[in-house]
Chains A and B, each alone.
Chain A
Amino acid sequence: MIALLLNPAAGLAQMLGHPFIRDGFIAGTGVALACGLVGYFAVLRGQVFTGDALSHAAFTGALAALALGLDARLGLFGVTVAVALGMGLLGARGRADDVVIGNVFAWVLGLGVLFLAIYTTQRSSGNGAAGPAVLFGSIFGLSAASARLALLIGLATAIALLVLARPLLFASVDEAVAAAQGVPVRGVGLLFLALIGLAAAEGAQVVGALLVLGLLSAPAAAAQRLVDRPYVGLALSAALALLAMWGGLTLSYAVPRLPPSFAIIATATAIYAVAALLPMLRRLRPSGRRERPAAARAVTPSA
């Protein structure tokens, strides 16, 4: 910690000299880009809890694959994207109420617990830490090959989102007008759901299935607090996610007792808290400005 503060360059070089830290940074960069970009649209479209639901599916998928003796990533990505597409196809026929969603996802988690029990008791290679690892991530346990694969999948997700960004933004802001202009609104929405699934599965490898929600929502919400222009906000969201990731990893290197996933989520939350408090401190006025409608705020130059 002190070495890092006294001589940042040398401390950084020393930190990145450890292969497991370097692999953590490689994988984390891909994850942060994917989650920051996808999260921005998830917050814009009010689909944060879809991301939550999909991360539950990621947990069950990973443990189902482990219980069957397959690579955890196969179940992680396969199940999460399949559930995302299934939700998109079913959701078109009628919106499920929160009781139904809650029911289904409590059961999905229950199934995950079953697979965890099967994996830990019946597979000879199984170990009791598999559950916590899937739930809370194990970024410093990644091999060099899987770190590189995580980076590649993260970059692919980010590029796919950037390609989709224009029609997606149009469809998110005004669905009816976008549809009238010939934007395939349903197809775009479905593709975006698949991208949320990819980002959730990707993030689950690093911060775990339970905490990926924080990485999807905190940087994006902070970016939306700070800037109103969508593409600037999108870029800022990705930058803040990277900041949270690198800051969290550095923090957990400096203070080894902090688990990396906690450090990353705590940094992301701190970033959001600063973003939410900054304008309040800067323009501390007695009149309640929270009551102003969104449109009025959008045209205020300093907002």
Chain B
Amino acid sequence: MPLADAGELMVNSMNLASDLQGLFAYHFMVNAFRAGTIVAIAAAVIGWFMVIRQETFVGHSLALVGFPGAAGAVLIGASATLGLFAFCVAAALAIGLLPRGGRGFGEESAVVGTVQALALACGFLFVSLYHGLLIGVNALLFGSFLGVTDEQVLTLLLFGVVALAVLSAVGRPLLFASLDGDVAAANGVPVRRLSLLFLVLLGVAAAEVSQITGTLLVFALLVVPPATAQQLTPHPLKSMALAVALGLAITWAGLAAAYYSPYPVGFFITSFAFAAYLVVRLARGSAWRIAARRWQRAAEPAA
């Protein structure tokens, strides 16, 4: 178990400065931080639009389809990262291009559930065909920061930069189409083509996040930072910047915690993300209650 070995070797000395230095002593850790930074930024910006468009579970499903992609790529000897990107983007195109059918919500969710289970089952098949090396499943599903290569960092950077460049080119009409599709369509915005394009971007983001958190835990970086930021401020640019800051903080803290402990990175990232969301939700709830009480008190003498 390499995680346990790492934990024993790199003991926390309780000295912040030397601990921070120790964090970057190994090349694999520098690469992990590079990858984490790229992923956190891309995920926060694309996830921001995803939360606005209420497509969170689409992001989840796309990431799950990435699992057989990565496992299949390893099976045929290709790069797992490329497999992730190929399957996530292909799934995004399939979701966007296939006609919406079915008999209402019950069956539509049953179909999504069936396809999701089949995708995971295929991933399991590929992993077990790969000489039964079952331990690798955990890294694919729950993330791992060990062994991120320079090449992978470059791939992540390339996909991330292209996705963000495309997003910034269509950002304004996309926001318009996301907030009010009908009015945007009436104003000549190509709403359908934009939503297909966004699904592809979402596929890229899901694949990027899968590299750090694994395919099962993408919610932690794709949904939580934007959803938390949107709780704090309604201003689009401000909340997007806040989402990026939160995503970076969660990722860096998660990587550092996993480095100095024997426990997996997926646990820390999901826990930090959940804690951030919970704190903001509770604080906002109590702020609402205080405001409501003040308003009530102000209203009382008049009544």
Contact = CB atoms under 8 A, between A and B. Distances in A.
Nearest to A44: B106
A257 B120 CA distance: 17
Interface in A259-303: 259, 261-262, 265-266, 268-269, 272, 290, 294, 297
B274 A210 contact: no
Contacts of B224: 103, 106
**Majority SS at the chain A contact face:** helix
A129 B227 CA distance: 35
Interface string B193-224: 00000000000000000000000111110011
Given A98-B57, A214-B121, A262-B124, A109 B270 contact: yes
A45 B277 CA distance: 30
A211 interface: yes
B56 A217 contact: no
Contacts of B216: 109, 210
B118 A102 contact: no
A46 B125 contact: no
B147 to A, nearest CB: 17
B1 interface: yes
Interface centre among A118, A131, A217 (most CB of B within 10 A): A217
Interface stretch (A25-33, A151-159, A160-168, A218-226): A218-226
A23 interface: no
A113 B142 contact: yes
B271 to A, nearest CB: 6
- Taking residues whose C-beta sits less than 8 angstroms from the other chain, chain B's interface range is 35 or more
A99 B50 CA distance: 11
Contacts of B3: 117, 121
Contact of B267 (A102, A113, A221): A113
B121 A99 contact: no
A135 interface: yes
Interface centre among A105, A106, A113, A116 (most CB of B within 10 A): A106
Interface string B22-34: 0000000000000
A129 B120 CA distance: 17
Interface string B218-240: 11100110010000000000000
- Taking residues whose C-beta sits less than 8 angstroms from the other chain, chain A's interface range is 35 or more
Which 3 A-B pairs have CB atoms at the shortest separation, nearest pair first?
A214-B117, A110-B270, A106-B219
Interface of A: 43-46, 48-49, 51-52, 98-99, 102-107, 109-111, 113-114, 116-118, 120-121, 128-129, 131-132, 135-136, 208, 210-218, 220-221, 224-225, 257-259, 261-262, 265-266, 268-269, 272, 290, 294, 297
27 contacts: A43-B107, A99-B227, A103-B219, A104-B274, A109-B142, A110-B267, A110-B269, A113-B142, A114-B267, A121-B262, A131-B138, A132-B137, A136-B121, A208-B124, A211-B120, A211-B124, A212-B117, A213-B114, A217-B113, A221-B107, A224-B110, A259-B128, A261-B124, A265-B117, A269-B114, A290-B99, A294-B104
Interface of B: 1, 3-4, 51, 54, 56-57, 60, 99, 101, 103-107, 109-118, 120-122, 124-125, 127-129, 134-135, 137-138, 141-142, 216-220, 223-224, 227, 262-264, 266-271, 273-274, 277
